[in-house]
Amino acid sequence: MNKKLLGVAVALFAGAAFAQPIPSGNTGRVQIQGTINSTVAMSNASIAYVAPGTGPAMPANTGVSPTAFDYAVNLGDINLLTATDLATNGSAVRILLSFQMRSNNSYHLKAQNVDNVAAPGSVMTPAEIGFCTKSIANASNTAKIFNPGTRVDAPTHDCRVTDNINYDSVNDSVTYNHTLAAITGAQQDVLVGPQISTGGSTNSNNNFITVGQEFAIRPELFHQQGTFNYTVTFTASTP
């Protein structure tokens, strides 16, 4: 027999015979740490033609959290649009953008409008396009909403109760209380409020508010000819 192999076998056997348990009283420690930063998220966006009738082309590039939404609405020749709101509303064509917001801190929602047409710019001015906050709603599961029933989300351009449009029946013209002119240039607050969520993730099925932003335009048959092209960028942040 190979003596080297025999020696290894004896040594292993002897070690097993005299094995001792780990002495009691020894301790081990695991430290787990991290941070919770201020978080705000916009998600699950959709956009719709509000007034019935002939609407604009449906937009592409639907964004779902945590991907930012990116829509393009091509109204085509607005003279051909069928605006079927009441005449007292100036027969406006309305586009409603809806999205969910979640935050673990108070939040600011800002918007900025940019004219994409080279000088002298779009034929329809920002003041001729209505822009306002049409709706704010809690998630269906309100049990976990921060301070349920006592939320104070304050829109800067509020049209939740009254119509944004003023119709002059004598001159058959419309003006808007809130327009894209208010957010043209630097970013401006359009909505501020307290903490929204107390749990879940940036795409949970609860713990959010749904914000509806309305854009409005009236078909203009005898308007200056040309094109208009605006981009409105929304940015959510915590203080």
Contact status, residue 107 vs residue 196, Cβ threshold 8 Å: yes
* Cα distance between residue 41 and residue 103, in whole Å: 6
Which residue, 237, 215, 232, 211, is CA-closest to 101?
211
Per-residue pLDDT of 208-235, as tens digits, reads 899 999 998 887 777 888 999 999 999 9
The answer, yes or no, to whether residue 166 has pLDDT greater than 80, is yes
CB neighbours of residue 204 within 10 Å: 18
Per-residue pLDDT of 78-109, as tens digits, reads 877 766 555 555 567 888 899 999 999 999 99
The answer, yes or no, to whether residue 203 has pLDDT greater than 60, is yes
Regarding predicted confidence, which is higher, 12 or 223? 223
When the pLDDT of each residue in the chain is averaged and rounded to a whole number, the result is 80
Instruction: Please report the pLDDT score of residue 11 as a whole number.
Output: 38
pLDDT grade for 148, boundaries at 50, 70 and 90: low
How far from 126 is each of 112, 148, 176, 212, 230, CA to CA, in Å?
12, 37, 11, 20, 8
User: What is the SS3 assignment for 61-117?
Assistant: CCCCCCCCCCCCCCCCCHHHCCCCCCHHHCCCEEEEEEEEEEECCCEEEEEEEEECC
Instruction: Please report the pLDDT score of residue 13 as a whole number.
Output: 37
Instruction: Please report the pLDDT score of residue 3 as a whole number.
Output: 38
Amino acid at 121: G
* Cα distance between residue 192 and residue 174, in whole Å: 29
Per-residue pLDDT of 36-74, as tens digits, reads 889 898 888 888 877 655 556 555 555 454 557 888 888
The answer, yes or no, to whether residue 127 has pLDDT greater than 90, is yes
The answer, yes or no, to whether residue 121 has pLDDT greater than 90, is yes
The answer, yes or no, to whether residue 14 has pLDDT greater than 50, is no
Contact status, residue 176 vs residue 166, Cβ threshold 8 Å: yes
Instruction: Please report the pLDDT score of residue 98 as a whole number.
Output: 92
Structure tokens given for 9: 């076998």
The answer, yes or no, to whether residue 9 has pLDDT greater than 70, is no
Which residue, 46, 220, 60, 58, is CA-closest to 135?
46
Instruction: Please report the pLDDT score of residue 22 as a whole number.
Output: 60
* Cα distance between residue 36 and residue 181, in whole Å: 37
pTM of the entire predicted model: 0.80
pLDDT grade for 18, boundaries at 50, 70 and 90: low
Structure tokens given for 71: 């829509």
